[in-house]
Structure 1
Amino acid sequence: MTHSTTETSIRRTPTAIDAAADEYYQALLALSPEFATILGVPGRETEYGDYSPAGREAEAEAARTALESLSGLQPVDDVDAVTLDAMRERLGLELEIHATGITELNNVASPAQSIRSIFDLMPSATVAQWEHISGRLANVPDALTGYAESLRASRDAGKVPARRQVEIVIEQTREYAAEDGYFEQLAQNAKPADAELPAELQVELTTNARIAAEAYGAFADFLQIELLDAAPARDAVGREHYALMSRRFLGAAVDLEETYAWGIGELERIITEQRRAAEKIEPGASISEAKEILNADPDRELHGTDALRAWMQSKSDAALAAMKDVHFEIPAPMDQLECLIAPTQEGGVYYTGPSDDFSRPGRMWWSVPAGEDRFTTWAETTTVYHEGVPGHHLQIATATRLKDTLNAWRRNVSFTSGHAEGWALYAERLMHQLGFLDDPGDYLGMLDMQRMRAARVVFDIGVHLELAMPESWNEELMGAGAPGQTWEPEVGFEFLAQHLDLSAGQLNFEFTRYLGWPGQAPSYKIGQRLWEEIRAAREEQEGGDFDLRAFHTEALAVGSVGLDTLRRALLG
């Protein structure tokens, strides 16, 4: 593959490779009505996919069929070459993972959460749309029953999620099932904009919400009765499974020991940079003292989620206006980004892309843990850039817009966390390079986020591969006279507490997430590393002809592919 700047300017004639990719995309839509909802594709708004072992096998068979259809096809241009490379890498890897027989269950990214969270993305402005919501509520029991079948099959094969993950999902799902929980609130707050909600529909909504809640209660009982006792106490997944997960989230195979050592060095470098930044806030101040000064500044303080949402929107709008047609190409309708407080209280900030026709804009969601109502802007400014512009929104909306160039699979299905999150971290650093984080408090906040991501590389690889901690950290984490120590979760929690400046609720959420979602958290910082290596290589190739805006335009036009595929696409 060779790099080209024509992808955004020329309408392509679809090729045989595009046809194979689009056929696979249609197969995925048929297998997952929720995926159609995410994309805004109408037609099956009340349905769920099949979460049973039969459904998982159907997904694997669709991948096999797609790979077979690509066999023997030759790319006619650079876009084709990327599609072929990306599909072989992504689909081939998913088949490897499918062959392990493992059914995922964790506190953040498993069907236990997604079966519920799809309602967050369902339109709710009209009576008809509330009818769709009611219909899908009635189908929650079947979805959870199928998922339980898959978990049972994995258990019977001796592959059970760690006890910690089972326990937290029991807690989460009991909260969903509570009388005053998510589903009851959803039905109570049904207020279409186009008309009054018919009384009979309100009754149906209430009934179906209760059905969904009861299904989650039954699922929690299943986890408690059938899975918990079989769940291992050990959180570490081991090298073999971790290597697969690392490839899933990076789209690249990395040397895990080298990357672990790099993470240690990167963490120490960022801490040194933080110390210099603290000096600019108050001469002689330590990092923690500088944070105390920033936290005490009333001009950097927000109270309540309404104020947080308004600040997010204002900051996002300003960044978009400053970036548009100056540092990036941001044509309409990409120039719309909506900031919202998430309906859940699980912690974290996330982005959801626009619908395929942009009728639903890209959205930034803040999930605020219960009881938290004070926020400091110095700590969060970089997050707005990460999730919005020039981060995830610019990245995902660009791919969505390129209908004339990229096939539907490239735009809507191909996603690699290391590409996406690596770009978002790259975007944070870029905003500092462009002068948008010159405020010393905002800059310290960006470094704090970078420090967190570097610490996650060390923790995640160290704990799951049970590697040795650096000797110099043994005494710091384990106490005076501590012998050499391999990473264990409890030691890791103390390590994270030192490096992640989060509330107690957020820290517990993140700790559990890393243990249950191996390889995902490191993909941010490792992805950033790979993005920066690719940019540096292009600068070296082109010398004085290197144009940063043109590089960004070309790179984003490739779409979210694995990072090895991206490297080949941009460097040849």
Structure 2
Amino acid sequence: MTTETTEQTAPGRPHTAIDAVADAFTDTLIRLNPSFATELGLPGHETEYQDFSPAGLKEFAVAAREALAALKGLEPADDVDAVTLDAMRERLGLQLELHESGWDLAELNNIASPAQEIRAIFDLMPMDTAAQWDHIAGRGHNVPAALDGYIVSLRSARDDGRVAAARQVKIVIEQTTRHAAEDGFFAKLAANAKTADGQLPPDVQSRLDAGAAAARTAYSRLAGFLESELLPVAPEKDAVGRERYSLASRAFLGATVDLEETYAWGVQELDRLIAEQERVAGEIRPGATVEEAKEVLNNDPARQLKGTDALRAWMQELSDKAVADLAGVHFDIPDVMKTLECRIAPTDEGGIYYTGPSDDFSRPGRMWWSVPPGEDTFTTWAETTTVYHEGVPGHHLQVATATYRRELLNKWRRNVCWTSGHGEGWALYAEKLMQELGYLKDPGDHMGMLDMQRMRAARVVFDIGVHLELEVPERWGSGIWTPEKGYGFLKQNLAISEGQLNFEFTRYLGWPGQAPSYKVGQRLWEQIRAELESRPGFDLKAFHTKALNIGSVGLDTLKRALLE
């Protein structure tokens, strides 16, 4: 780490001993995971990858142990330090539990495993100059070593009896085969390369072509390994069981919850949301069912978008308006945070996601829409709340605020600590907040928000129910949950295309505990706000400012920071 990228906090708050430990740990993470430097927009690691082998993963565990040891005996100098100490002990301690479980070596699913991450980092690499394309070529040449290390980890986990379910192995075989294809991601990347002011120099294009070819070959090798060595021993059963699920739930929430109570709450919340949808359906057309109301909305030309260009432009316009309206009224939004780019993702695997700004905001926060093949028509009523979720006041405000507050937060708090239940819970809170503030008065947009909330409640029921093999609620069937019963249940409750449904179904089965963290996180956020509202002098804007300035910590840490 160069001295230029090692920040000191502003004179108003001295850099403490606990900050020093957190910053040193962050520097170590950047050294161990160069892709993280790319995410932050830091120079010097543009072509590198982390070591995905067992030895490389062990280094992360060693770093966590050393950081925890360095924190022993340190006393917080202020409230900021107290939160850092609480958060690091919780996050790093859990990281070690996950490592000791051995499942980090077996990580494989359709959305968030090295198979996707090794490719996805290219999406964040700048592509304006010949030098930047040369970096991309260099990273392409390093894809084989990264994937080979990953294969060693998967093989080691297999030998210890830890293998992802066959469903996940099969879908990743499909994904990696597409990446290796002549018309796959890497081939297109090289074929379509150009600088901002013209074509690439021949020598850079040659290195880029070779790097793309190396990456394609490596992904083909991974697909072959999965097909020949992993799939034959992969379990057919998708459910991971209580022990593994409990650990995953804690990891995604940063809180310990009663899984049975949370499951029962999810069933009740789903019923409540369906009842609210039935009421709103009557506003769209008197006497209409929810399905009939949606049909009315889908057939309304004023609510339709044709093509991805129109989708991107609409996302950008809605996002810009939210920023302009909310800044200074309900949120503190510095000028540097007011730029949020909306883009169509270069992949077609499904999903909508946000990537944060670079450390210096030279690369702004971005909202990405990965459109499945064949989808070309979009409805605004169904997606308005998604723009608020991913952008403002959702993920963009949350992530960019933490990045911006360098005078208050150390590097680990700003750039490293991310807890799904905190982050996704905030984004769902943001959806509901926009309704509260009057931005979803249109019955169609309100129906869209309820659809999204209904989906998240259904995921609580599905995810906990299937992985713990609980009883199916009477409204939705009988017996014990199975993936097949769960698919039918999701089809009734997730208002998404078949391609998106298949993607989401596979995601929930392969990423246990993550999907419920959205709605459970929202529940915990709203419980904290309700407790504060019951106290004298509550101010909504001040609550938002204080909460966002804490950064994305575990939800138990957040609760202690805001309530105690």
Give the shorter-chain TM-score range. Answer: over 0.9
State yes or no: 1:162 paired with 2:162.
Answer: no
- Taking the TM superposition and a 5 Å limit, the aligned residue runs for 1:78-93 are 78-93=79-94
Q: Write the distance in 2 (CA, Å) between the matches of 1:57 and 1:200.
A: 38
SS at structure 1 position matched to 2:343: strand
Contact 2:193 2:199 in 1 (8 A): no
Offset of 1:201 from its aligned partner? 1.3
Task: Provide the residue aligned with 2:479 in structure 1.
Answer: 485
Task: Provide the residue aligned with 1:124 in structure 2.
Answer: 127
Offset of 1:200 from its aligned partner? 1.6
Task: Provide the residue aligned with 2:510 in structure 1.
Answer: 516
CA RMSD of aligned residues (A): 1.0
Contact 2:327 2:333 in 1 (8 A): yes
Contact 1:127 1:194 in 2 (8 A): no
Q: Write the distance in 1 (CA, Å) between the matches of 2:249 and 2:538.
A: 32
Residue type of the partner of 1:20? V
Deviations 1:361-382 (A, max 9, x none): 0000000000000000000000
SS at structure 2 position matched to 1:139: helix
Task: Provide the residue aligned with 2:283 in structure 1.
Answer: 280
Task: Provide the residue aligned with 1:479 in structure 2.
Answer: none
**Distance change >3 Å, CA 214–CA 231, structure 1 → 2:** same
- Taking the TM superposition and a 5 Å limit, the aligned residue runs for 1:182-331 are 182-194=185-197, 196-331=199-334
Offset of 1:463 from its aligned partner? 0.2
Contact 2:21 2:70 in 1 (8 A): yes
Q: Write the distance in 1 (CA, Å) between the matches of 2:405 and 2:127.
A: 28
Offset of 1:10 from its aligned partner? 7.8
State yes or no: 1:332 paired with 2:338.
Answer: no
Q: Write the distance in 2 (CA, Å) between the matches of 1:164 and 1:458.
A: 21
Residue type of the partner of 2:14? T
Gaps of 5+ in 1: 1-7, 475-483
Task: Provide the residue aligned with 1:24 in structure 2.
Answer: 25
1:147 to 136, 141, 150: 150
TM-score, with length taken from structure 1: 0.96
State yes or no: 1:556 paired with 2:559.
Answer: no
Offset of 1:407 from its aligned partner? 0.1
Offset of 1:541 from its aligned partner? 2.3
Residue type of the partner of 1:552? H
Q: Write the distance in 2 (CA, Å) between the matches of 1:183 and 1:34.
A: 17
SS at structure 2 position matched to 1:133: helix
Task: Provide the residue aligned with 1:48 in structure 2.
Answer: 49
Residue type of the partner of 1:199? P
Offset of 1:196 from its aligned partner? 3.4
Residue type of the partner of 2:183? D
1:411 to 396, 409, 414: 414
Task: Provide the residue aligned with 1:477 in structure 2.
Answer: none
**Distance change >3 Å, CA 451–CA 10, structure 1 → 2:** farther
Q: Write the distance in 2 (CA, Å) between the matches of 1:164 and 1:367.
A: 22
Task: Provide the residue aligned with 2:15 in structure 1.
Answer: 14
Q: Write the distance in 2 (CA, Å) between the matches of 1:273 and 1:142.
A: 52
State yes or no: 1:530 paired with 2:515.
Answer: no
Q: Write the distance in 1 (CA, Å) between the matches of 2:474 and 2:289.
A: 24
Task: Provide the residue aligned with 2:68 in structure 1.
Answer: 67
Offset of 1:194 from its aligned partner? 4.4
Deviations 1:95-147 (A, max 9, x none): 00000111210000000000000000001111100000000000000000000
Contact 2:240 2:467 in 1 (8 A): yes
Contact 1:127 1:195 in 2 (8 A): no
Residue type of the partner of 1:266? E
1:458 to 452, 457, 461: 461
Offset of 1:12 from its aligned partner? 1.0
Offset of 1:263 from its aligned partner? 0.1
State yes or no: 1:180 paired with 2:172.
Answer: no
State yes or no: 1:567 paired with 2:552.
Answer: no
Offset of 1:9 from its aligned partner? 10
Offset of 1:472 from its aligned partner? 3.7
SS at structure 1 position matched to 2:366: strand
Offset of 1:11 from its aligned partner? 2.8
Residue type of the partner of 1:393? H
Residue type of the partner of 1:346? E
State yes or no: 1:547 paired with 2:539.
Answer: yes
State yes or no: 1:502 paired with 2:496.
Answer: yes
Contact 1:10 1:405 in 2 (8 A): no
Residue type of the partner of 1:571? L
Q: Write the distance in 1 (CA, Å) between the matches of 2:423 and 2:151.
A: 31
Offset of 1:540 from its aligned partner? 1.3
Q: Write the distance in 2 (CA, Å) between the matches of 1:552 and 1:318.
A: 19
Moved over 4 A (4+): none
Contact 2:476 2:489 in 1 (8 A): no
